Amino acid sequence: MRSLIALIEREYLEHRGAFVYAPAIILVLLAVVLAAATGFDRIPGSATTLGNATKLFEFGFLVMSGMWWAYLLAALFFYVSDAFNADRRNNAMLFWKSMPVSDFTVLGAKLLAAATVFPALILGAILLNAVLVLVFGYVALARFELLGVPDLGAVLAAAGQVLLFAIPAIVLTLLWYAPFYAWVGMLSTLVGRWSIPLAFLIPGVIGIFEKLILRGGGPEHGYILSWLGDRMEMVRGRSVVEPELLQQGPFMALPTLGRLVSQIDWTQLVGGLVVAALLVALAAEYRRRIIIA
pLDDT digits (tens, 9 = 90+) for 155-204: 888 888 888 998 999 999 999 999 999 999 999 988 887 888 999 998 88
Separation between Cα atoms, residue 268 and residue 175, nearest integer Å: 11
pTM listed for this prediction: 0.82
Q: Indicate the range of 55-64, 107-116, 165-174 predicted with least confidence.
A: 55-64
Separation between Cα atoms, residue 284 and residue 220, nearest integer Å: 37
Which residue, 93, 285, 74, 95, is CA-closest to 190?
285
Residue type, 244: E
The pLDDT value given to residue 76: 93
Which residue, 176, 204, 178, 196, is CA-closest to 81?
196
Give pairs for 138-146: CB < 8 Å, separation 24+: 139/38, 140/37, 140/38, 140/40, 140/43, 141/43, 141/53, 143/38, 144/42, 144/43, 146/43, 146/48
Dihedrals φ, ψ of 229, to 5°?
-60, -40
- Domain positions in the chain are 2-289
Separation between Cα atoms, residue 283 and residue 285, nearest integer Å: 5
C-alpha 28 chain-centroid distance: 21
Does residue 26 contact residue 127 with C-beta atoms inside 8 Å?
A: no
The pLDDT value given to residue 247: 67
The SS3 of residue 124 is helix
Of residues 209 and 73, the one with the higher pLDDT is 73
Measured over the CA atoms of residue 58, residue 130, residue 136 and residue 28, the dihedral's sign is negative
- Given a cut of 90, whether residue 279 has pLDDT beyond it is yes
Separation between Cα atoms, residue 42 and residue 40, nearest integer Å: 6
Q: What integer is the mean pLDDT of 102-112?
A: 85
